[in-house]
Amino acid sequence: MCRVFSTALFLAAACEAMLSTSLALDGASLRVNLHNGWKAFEVISIGDNPADDGSTWSMPGTFDGIGAWLPDSSTLRLLINHETTDATISEVNLHLPSFKTAIANVIASGTTGGGSFVTSARQAYDRWSSDGGANWIATSDISNTTFYRFCSGQSYLPDTFGTGRGFADPIYVTGEEGSTDRLIAIDLANRDFYQLSGVAGSAAGGLGGMPFDNWENAALLDTGETDHVILLLSPDGGTQNMQLYVGEKGKDASGNAANTFLARNGLAFGSYFFLNDSLPVSKGDTSIDGTFDTTSAGALNSTKLEDVDTSPSDPTRAVLGDQDSGLFTFDFDFVFSGGSFNAAASGFSITKVQNHVNDVDYSGSGAYANAFGDADNVDWTAPTVINGSTYAEGLIFVNEDSGTANGEIWMNAPDGSNLILIGDTVGISGAAETSGILDISQLVGYNPGSIVLTSNQGSNASLSVLINPYAQRDNADFNGDNDVDGFDFLTWQRNLGSGTLPVQGDAQHDGDVDGPDFKVWEQQFGSPPPLFAAAAVPEPSAACLLSLALYSFVGIARLPNEAARNSGTIIARQGLRK
């Protein structure tokens, strides 16, 4: 576990208390108010066009869902949905070392240091296909496309849940909320955009193909085997019914063996089912009798189903934000028999973890629960340790879409405990609801829950970095002797595949001991361990900062997991937004 030397703690305690720090890197105003010690800085805003990137792309408005991945060791690539009636998706590339330096500088001093880290921006795809890749339309902007309101989205690693389980390629999934109602997938490696709804062939067992609906988002779930993929489908409007897509991997739209992009990822041939149940009414209530059916009678129905995201620690679980009802977690039990999905033997439970308070902005007094509501975009992190507390099931971040035209950003444990307010857009000119939310901590070398991206809508749409006051870096000093050496390697080696704790070799504090923990050890070998990124105190004075700098280290980047190591990529999974 990371530590702060007593000298550093003394210096921090002696510093003058000030308010949480925030700034805008490109000179625009930061579009979020901060609470509870969090810090922030702006990444990119509406109208921005990075200079000298060879592109004329100017950032469209109405920022929404966010995805992120590392196409190489020096680039953090972001995808940003635009929820407009002539919609598109932006690709924004950040120089990873410079971006990590900006984060470390804000933690240490409250400023980024003035360096630039945004290297380019452009449309996230070069061509799109409405027929499974048989025909393509080249595109570099919205002039020859007609897409509608891209809301939430998800980015996924190949072998998402283990060898052969989940997707076979790095993929970004999102959908249109209205009009043509299409679910889509982007092949991230090749920048190809595929329509899924109405294209996937009809497999036996459920309703045929991939449906059309007012898609808010889709969350990939673990089937526990290698022949299928499952997507939890959440429509905001339209049928208002939760649905489940089951795809057969390695088959084309006719059910024949194939190895095209859609086929090998289970997106060319499948069927779907309705979730049959209702959302629990009160916080803490659980419904345990959920079933899957091919008729909509008795379907789980709600007027404002919003974003869904998968639990990294148990990917048969998912979180749902419902703008009219609250926050919910699902626990699925999928049964496959004879090579097929057995809907009759499968089921799920639903637990309500936060109640809904309609259209109320937090007033600065009273219980946070009295103001939590209008849940929209969600993100479920990997297991983590924050401020000495272990969150074995991770943390859940929630952005809200309030009828007050303001947005709030929340964090809580998956059981609903430890609810805190991170930020809001109340009173900020041109800033409306908070929309996309994405934990990128593991992409930049920090414990899950430390570093988060958030976007806001309004005439001044913007993307910002949020920094936890207890942000903590990856640390390979497993035996706590203040250096990273061969003894730490032996600790990792002894517990590979079985350990779950930092003292057992879990450098990333994500609940397991695996290949990525070795990569952290490899990078930190021969060095003192990283310290806590910041004490949970307001911004110190300049003199104090100089003293504290003697005890600070720049964070080390985390490398890919086992599935992605060979390709050099890593992806942050995301809950995005209506």
Closest CA to 262 of 276, 245, 279: 245
Would residue 129 count as lying in a domain? yes
Residue 569: predicted pLDDT: 43
| pLDDT for position 22 | 59
Beta strand residue intervals within 401-450, DSSP E: 408-412, 420-424, 434-439
Tell me the pairing of strands 207-208 and 269-276. Answer: antiparallel
Average pLDDT of 115-124? 94
| Residue 392 domain-assigned (yes or no) | yes
Question: Which of these ranges, 428-437, 454-463, 521-530, has the smallest mean pLDDT?
Answer: 521-530
Task: Identify the domain containing residue 69 by its residue range.
Answer: 22-276+283-354+371-472+564-572
**Shortest CA distance to 126 belongs to which of 158, 92, 97, 91?**
91
What pLDDT is attached to residue 28? 67
In a domain, 457, yes or no: yes
* Residue 60 is assigned to a structural domain of this protein: yes
User: 556 or 301: whose pLDDT is higher?
Assistant: 301
* 439 within some domain: yes
Q: What is the CATH number of the domain that holds 457?
A: 2.120.10.30
> Using one digit for the tens of pLDDT, what is the confidence trace for 331-387?
999 999 999 999 999 999 999 999 999 999 998 888 898 899 999 999 999 999 999
Domain membership flag for residue 58 = yes
Q: How many Å apart are CA 419 and CA 235, to the nearest integer?
A: 26
pLDDT band at 420 (very low <50, low <70, confident <90, very high): very high
Average pLDDT, the chain: 88
282-288: average pLDDT: 97
Residue 323 lies inside a defined structural domain of this protein: yes
Q: How many domains would you assign to the chain? A: 1
Supply the pLDDT for residue 92: 97
What mean pLDDT do residues 185-197 have? 98
The model's confidence at residue 566, banded by pLDDT at 50, 70 and 90, is very low
Query: How sure is the predictor about 480, in pLDDT bands with cuts at 50, 70 and 90?
Result: confident
- What is the H or E stretch that residue 398 is in? strand 396-400
Backbone angles phi, psi at 490, to 5 degrees: -60, -35
**Rounded CA separation 340/246 (Å):** 10
Tell me the pTM: 0.86
Secondary structure (DSSP) of 26-73: TSSPP--EE-TT-EEEEEEETT---TTSS------SSEEEEEEEEEET
Buried/exposed 224-263: b ≥16 CB within 10 Å, e otherwise = bebbbbbbbbbbbbbbbbbbbbbbbbbbbbeeeebebbbb
Rounded-to-integer distance, Cα 309 and Cα 535, Å = 30
Question: Rounded to an integer, what distance in angstroms lies between the CA atom of residue 318 and that of residue 3?
Answer: 33
| Range 194-215 average pLDDT | 97
Flag whether 568 is in a domain. Answer: yes
